[in-house]
Structure 1
């Protein structure tokens, strides 16, 4: 089913029309972007990064000397707090509109140590920390696993990941096949089951579950010896935030 939908087009449209709402679905942020206070919007992201950085092994790293990646940067909600801690952050987002908004916010909040990329392929060097939160869930799994491979290959020995994936759904949704699509309407945030071939128009959020066996196998074969898992549950979509450090392969 994955190959039938290019979610890149959805996010380019969402980035143009509702960039802040598309990251955090709340009527509070469903307003013209000119009315958004970036400092207020980013504060919960700063709290999230504070929590992640308090956990092993990130808590043991000298982040001030580390180059990091924020994959799926959106408007910079996590990128900017990461840049406050790290020497440099490479912010990646497929949506040029999102990258433009994130760049504006970084400059507004005094973070000039961020560079922006469309894909991981343009990120130079080896990376000390790769972060991604509530991003892969909106990428068709076949494409997402390929991007995951690219990101992990960027990680230096001793580097750390904090990366989030959805893997199942509660109640009736949990019984569906893992590759079935769920659409979150851009109009009202309602989650609806979606069965092929009734794909929605562009500009809607699609949710994808990942096979954690494939994720963990990729990490183990690339030198990760142990992982920490934090569970997430958003509107009955079950997920994991995986934290781990790359050892010698």
Structure 2
């Protein structure tokens, strides 16, 4: 299996906005024409899902918020508008550097991530992670998710998005196997797809929804709402939840 952390660092150096949202208009050579759209989408996303969690579970405390896999700050920036302060975590130093440039003095701390969240201090009233865990191998991702949920204060909320099934053909799955397990397979598949041979892997993983929901429940999130999503043939779940006070 390809090293997801290494490849994400490469994406941060080469094409950070596209790595966050894989649309051609967010490529490095065109992002300046679409920067406003990129960040406005993040503002709409955060406002919508915060309203949803509060609609179903009541008002959240608005102290600290955490964005895991923050990338260039697309969701972290609006979090800082809804909460007193925000923390953005990412594995890619280049992503964090770009996020800091985008933050314009907002009350946000950007920190280098690791599996144990060792650089993060304290707890949070809200944790979000979207279009991130799918790029992390499942065993690692589940352990990280447990640690993220542990950081949520009683009465606080979480919004977690993850992929649950890739509805790919036999040939697509064979291509993925070649890409991830055969020496030189990534370069071959890139060339066949019309990409540069050294284009990094954007790893995709399927999470067991029952296991994820069990993890939420074990961490005290007994109120949960799950929304089904489809991302280009990949089944995904958006989980919004609130941690119980007792």
Which TM-score tier does this pair reach, normalised by the shorter chain?
0.7 to 0.9
Change (3 A) 1:74 1:40: same
Alignment partners' CA distance in 1, 2:82 and 2:106: 12
Give 1:149 shift. Answer: 1.5
| Cα displacement string for residues 102-129 of structure 1 (whole angstroms, at most 9, x for unaligned residues) | 110011xxx5210011122221111100
- Normalised by the length of structure 2, the TM-score is 0.84
Alignment partners' CA distance in 2, 1:129 and 1:75: 19
Change (3 A) 1:62 1:209: closer
Give 1:170 shift. Answer: 2.4
Give 1:246 shift. Answer: 0.7
Alignment of 1:15-164 (within 5 A): 15-32=12-29, 35=32, 38-57=35-54, 60-62=58-60, 65-107=62-104, 111-119=105-113, 120-164=117-161
Give 1:153 shift. Answer: 1.2
Conserved 8 A contact 2:88-2:108: yes
Alignment partners' CA distance in 1, 2:63 and 2:149: 16
Work out which of the residue numbers 160, 177, 182 in structure 2 matches 1:194: 177
Give 1:37 shift. Answer: 5.7
- Aligned partner of residue 181 in structure 2, secondary structure: coil
Conserved 8 A contact 2:26-2:34: no
- Normalised by the length of structure 1, the TM-score is 0.83
Count matched residues.
228
Give 1:62 shift. Answer: 5.0
Matched, 1:231 2:243: no
Conserved 8 A contact 1:18-1:33: no
Alignment partners' CA distance in 2, 1:62 and 1:247: 12
Conserved 8 A contact 2:60-2:157: no
Q: Name structure 2 gaps, 5 residues minimum.
A: 187-197
Looking at secondary structure, tell me which structure has more helix per residue: 2
- Aligned partner of residue 122 in structure 1, secondary structure: coil
Match of 1:187 in 2: none
